Amino acid sequence: MFRLAGTARVLSLLLTCGFLFQHFTLAQLPPVREAAVNSIESRRQELIQLSNQIWKLAETSLLEVESSRLLAAYAEKQGFKVERGLADLPTSFVASYGQGSPVIAVIGEFDALPGLSQKISTQKEPLEAGKAGHGCGHNLFGTASLGAAIAVKDLIAAGKLKGTIRFYGTPAEEAYEGKVYMLRAGLFRDVDLCLGWHPRDQTKADTQSSKALVSLRVEFRGLSAHASRDPWDGKSALDGLELFTHGVNMLREHVKPSVRMHYVIRKGGEAPNVVPDEAMVELWIRDSTMEGVQLVLEKVKKIATGAGLMADVEAKLTVFSGVYNMLPSQTGAAMLFDTMKSLGPITYTEEEQTFARGIQKSAGVPEIGINGRLQPLETPIPDPPGASSDLGDVSWNVPTLHISVTTAPEGVPWHSWPVVACGGMSIGHKGMLFASKTLALGMVQLFEDAKLREKVRAEFAETMKGRTYKPYILDGPPPNVTLPH
Ligand SMILES: [Zn+2]
């Protein structure tokens, strides 16, 4: 015991020396902000361990039981009040500390993606074949955000900041839009401002929107019959489905370039000698705005009806979820840009650069290594390319500030094995700690500066003029987790 305690003391002394050295470049930071950075540095090893545990668990949407438990337990140990299993989502939780206003929230995700299990290697090599992996870096996402919340909590506890800090453990981002359920349950109602980040192959303060999305399924029902003996008695649900997808593919020529449509066939019959009586396709429609998505959706509904008529089968279209385009706070982005600048670029060792180039080589993209430099602040464009997130819905309800931080080398495909590999080693950890510090420092400024908060809220009020929000989820709890993802 004594030896251990002694070792811990030596370690903490060494760590302190490390901080002093690291903080040499941060000497210009005022003491409160320096304290926030110190909070994160003092938990560096714990945060890395936490993210590694979640990386190894690699639990998919709504099955992220252990990952959620680990983060919630850590928050509780740090003195947060934790409420679990909110909004019909067993793996959701909200950790809260402090009281009164302002109420500032930071978002954390922790779900993995199926089939992406990967070792820390520059080659595609599953850790466990067929298992899931953190191909979107959410092990880093949740941990960094919680680290930032804890740093702010330390300052509230020390009487240096006033108000409430909340960490939102938001499950099932990849498959079920967990945040939309949490919004519908009113869990964000009293939040003044919200912050988030996402792992990426670049470091930037986000000014661009994301795509709005609706997910729908079309179920076709016909009549089964022997495909050779009495096919005239059958009505093929698969014919209906094929006519539908053909119609969707013809529609591609007549939609705006900002539209994306992608589908998978979930059900298409069991055997060639049986006329399929059931078929199902799942289609996602995206555009820069929800209005754009709606326009395409109306056409897709007609295609489904037409396909059903042609194959003489029933066609039932159900929109089962959707997310809004992100409305990022420009005022917040400018503040977070300056914050990231003050932290300096993320730097990498030669060993990490070699790893990054190895990954790029295997992924077949230019071997330019990894770049942790801060990208210039971009002017928002109307139709940015990119993906969608349920954070978009949050941004329609609460002013949302967002950054992206490098956790994988430039050019590698996302939702893929290179992202998993980097997220379990020092490249990912560096991005995670940088994100954590940026979010903590950003929140400190927002807690301290009422005028800044007001400016962010005023911009939000202006953006929301003429816009109304209605969630695109079905009534009741989210879909059964046993459905294929
Ligand atoms: Zn993600």
Domains annotated for the chain, with CATH where assigned, are 28-210+325-463 (3.40.630.10), 212-322 (3.30.70.360)
What whole-number distance in Å separates Cα of residue 93 and Cα of residue 69? 9
Residues in Cβ contact with 255 at an 8 Å cutoff, skipping those fewer than 6 apart: 261, 296
Q: Ligand 1 centroid to 96 CA: how many Å?
A: 24
Which amino acid appears at position 83 of this protein?
E
Q: Ligand 1 centroid to 121 CA: how many Å?
A: 21
Q: Ligand 1 centroid to 183 CA: how many Å?
A: 19
- Mean pLDDT per block of 10 residues along the chain (485 residues) reads 41 45 57 95 98 97 95 98 95 97 98 96 96 97 98 98 98 89 97 98 97 96 97 98 98 97 96 98 96 97 98 96 96 98 97 98 96 95 90 98 97 96 98 98 98 98 96 81 38
Q: How many CB atoms lie within 10 A of CB 102?
A: 19
- Give the pLDDT of residue 238: 98
- Give the pLDDT of residue 480: 58
Which amino acid appears at position 309 of this protein?
L
Q: Ligand 1 centroid to 215 CA: how many Å?
A: 17
Selection from 339, 453, 342 nearest residue 403 by Cα:
339
Q: Ligand 1 centroid to 414 CA: how many Å?
A: 9
- Give the pLDDT of residue 482: 40
Selection from 40, 23, 97, 336 nearest residue 205 by Cα:
336
Q: Ligand 1 centroid to 110 CA: how many Å?
A: 9
Q: How many CB atoms lie within 10 A of CB 464?
A: 15
Q: Ligand 1 centroid to 381 CA: how many Å?
A: 22
- Which two three-digit tokens encode residue 135? 């191909």
Q: Ligand 1 centroid to 174 CA: how many Å?
A: 7
Selection from 307, 316, 158 nearest residue 238 by Cα:
307
Q: Ligand 1 centroid to 249 CA: how many Å?
A: 28
- Give the pLDDT of residue 30: 82
What whole-number distance in Å separates Cα of residue 333 and Cα of residue 335? 5
Residues in Cβ contact with 233 at an 8 Å cutoff, skipping those fewer than 6 apart: 223, 225, 226
First-to-last C-alpha distance (Å) of the chain: 48
Q: Ligand 1 centroid to 454 CA: how many Å?
A: 29
* 102: preceding bond cis by omega (within 30 degrees): yes
Q: Ligand 1 centroid to 137 CA: how many Å?
A: 7
Cβ–Cβ < 8 Å for 388, 287: no
- State which H helix or E strand residue 283 sits in: strand 278-287
What whole-number distance in Å separates Cα of residue 167 and Cα of residue 97? 9
Q: Ligand 1 centroid to 265 CA: how many Å?
A: 24
Q: Ligand 1 centroid to 136 CA: how many Å?
A: 5
Chain Cα centroid distance, residue 119? 22
Cβ–Cβ < 8 Å for 75, 82: yes
DSSP state of 353: H
- The dihedral built from the CA positions of residue 316, 211, 202 and 341, taken in this order, carries a sign that is negative
- Which two three-digit tokens encode residue 240? 């209906």
Q: Ligand 1 centroid to 469 CA: how many Å?
A: 23
- The dihedral built from the CA positions of residue 458, 463, 468 and 471, taken in this order, carries a sign that is negative
- Which two three-digit tokens encode residue 96? 């809260």
Residues comprising the chain, all counted: 485
